[in-house]
Structure 1
């Protein structure tokens, strides 16, 4: 994603070394310099540059006690040449972190068991939208729910909003199936996101007000609609 002023972009990349998983990097489009801003341990994803350019946000598992062990295991599997289908890891150690623009002063914003990721800043930098399946870890699941969780833990993914310092967390959606990829409208009054059907075979684009009300389905294609984002005018998605 590009910074608000268009001078930088933040991205995830696998780089050769003792960690085979994605880490987060920021590239300066003026100088061409690229710097890692994530800790370098574990898995990372879903990064964003704060509108002030003073800090960054990303999701990471670097505090997982088994992070280094998982890195070594992944390297061993890749070196073995075993073919595997692509699949995303909804590791329950994923937390959303804030760091200074150079990657220093890393702070955990979520501190909740479950996959906390897919964060984005509001355009004024005061709020963060994100996706999480934390509810599945915080209550007892029925037998039917446990089977769904064991098959695909993303079934329990819902959308949340919090202040940029991690306080005042509120749940916005309570829908079966994967709600993810939320972004703010330019005036910070609405949210656009993708919602998977409960069977996980298709996803549609939805919008809602910032408090979770007025949820509206925009597409009905019975396919996978992905990555919605507001035009700067707010008139198009």
Structure 2
């Protein structure tokens, strides 16, 4: 099974079981207070929500959420100061991986709304969900590499929607570089999910990876030289964090453990990468937490350094992103009362160097 974009949240939500809480005197002190303060929930009213990203001014977020009356994720924006979500996607199809342009005037996202059999696709999912409810069974979630998924950009002022990819196959998981001139994304147009980079208008396409297995979730480094991503090339479904140059050279694995490491994201000003991960070396379903790595950059390498665990909640914590000024952290968590996935935000404090 491939685990990509916001989709891992779903398998966590549908499979997560809360153990009996120990007595207060037996409860160990959480580590989160060292790094996170002012933790608050920022989305609600959706079946589930997650994979949020900040606007360039840090005042608005864009995210994907499943609304009450539709079976697939749609894309929404929402001011952090409060207010109702605004629908950005078309309202139909599978959508994922939204990202602001650096000027804040447009939003990039992936959508399958051009599926010529959209009505049948929707009806099939609705019927399956209804059957699941009646049977009481929970399907093991797997992400659909929908072959009708393409990358679009929407102008927030005019509402114009521009299609950037047209190849047959799954094109998604896109993000801009700091200047907004390049987009890194995942595509299975050659039969296997690999990383690509293109100009912001969809031209000058370049393939970055070609290893067997899933390569996805790319983000371009703040200095524009590197792409961090996740890959299950060593063991299907068991993701590790990698970096590669924007020229397709100097690929390096940053993690190599018996677990799942995914959703890596660069800090905008300091040499740190944050991601979600869990140890799968023991039987049973492990919990997902956030992890922070300090790295060293040279001319031809990103060298992994010390790692800190940032969260230790019994809930699943995934898909972390830093605010543009690097002072806040936003992530997706099931620490809600009903254990649905929603977005949380907190002030972030770096660990002291040791």
**Which residue of structure 2 aligns with residue 53 of structure 1?**
104
Instruction: Tell me how far apart the structure 1 counterparts of residues 229 and 152 of structure 2 sit (CA, whole Å).
Output: 21
**Which residue of structure 1 aligns with residue 128 of structure 2?**
77
Q: CA deviation at 1:107?
A: 1.1
Q: In structure 2, which of residues 173, 182, 187 is the aligned counterpart of residue 118 of structure 1?
A: 173
SS at match of 2:67: coil
Q: CA deviation at 1:204?
A: 1.3
Q: CA deviation at 1:29?
A: 1.9
The structure-2 alpha-carbon separation of the partners of 1:186 and 1:234, relative to structure 1 and needing over 3 Å to count, comes to farther
SS at match of 2:146: coil
SS at match of 2:144: coil
Q: CA deviation at 1:30?
A: 3.3
Residue pair 2:211, 2:233 contacting (<8 A) in 1 also: no
**What is the CA deviation profile of residues 122-144 of structure 1, one whole-angstrom value per residue up to 9, with x for unaligned ones?**
111111000011012xxxxxxxx
Q: Does 1:7 align with 2:7?
A: no
Number of residue pairs matched by the alignment = 217
Q: In structure 2, which of residues 150, 156, 171 is the aligned counterpart of residue 95 of structure 1?
A: 150
Instruction: Tell me how far apart the structure 2 counterparts of residues 58 and 35 of structure 1 sit (CA, whole Å).
Output: 15
Gaps of 5+ in 2: 1-52, 274-354
- Moved >6 Å (runs of 4+): none
Gaps of 5+ in 1: 137-155
Q: Which moved more, 1:223-232 or 1:190-199?
A: 190-199
**Which residue of structure 1 aligns with residue 264 of structure 2?**
228
Residue pair 1:26, 1:34 contacting (<8 A) in 2 also: yes
Q: Write out aligned runs for 1:118-157 (5 A).
A: 118-136=173-191, 156-157=192-193
Higher Rg: 2
**Which residue of structure 2 aligns with residue 62 of structure 1?**
113
Question: TM-score with structure 2 length normalisation?
Answer: 0.59
Between structures 1 and 2, the one with greater strand share: 2
Instruction: Tell me how far apart the structure 2 counterparts of residues 60 and 103 of structure 1 sit (CA, whole Å).
Output: 19
Residue pair 1:44, 1:58 contacting (<8 A) in 2 also: yes
**Which residue of structure 2 aligns with residue 189 of structure 1?**
225
Q: Which moved more, 1:26-35 or 1:209-218?
A: 26-35
SS at match of 1:177: coil
Q: Which moved more, 1:201-210 or 1:157-166?
A: 201-210
**Which residue of structure 1 aligns with residue 198 of structure 2?**
162
**Which residue of structure 2 aligns with residue 151 of structure 1?**
none
The structure-2 alpha-carbon separation of the partners of 1:103 and 1:234, relative to structure 1 and needing over 3 Å to count, comes to farther
Q: Which moved more, 1:45-54 or 1:103-112?
A: 103-112
Q: CA deviation at 1:95?
A: 0.3
Residue pair 1:27, 1:34 contacting (<8 A) in 2 also: yes
Note the aligned Cα RMSD (angstroms): 1.5
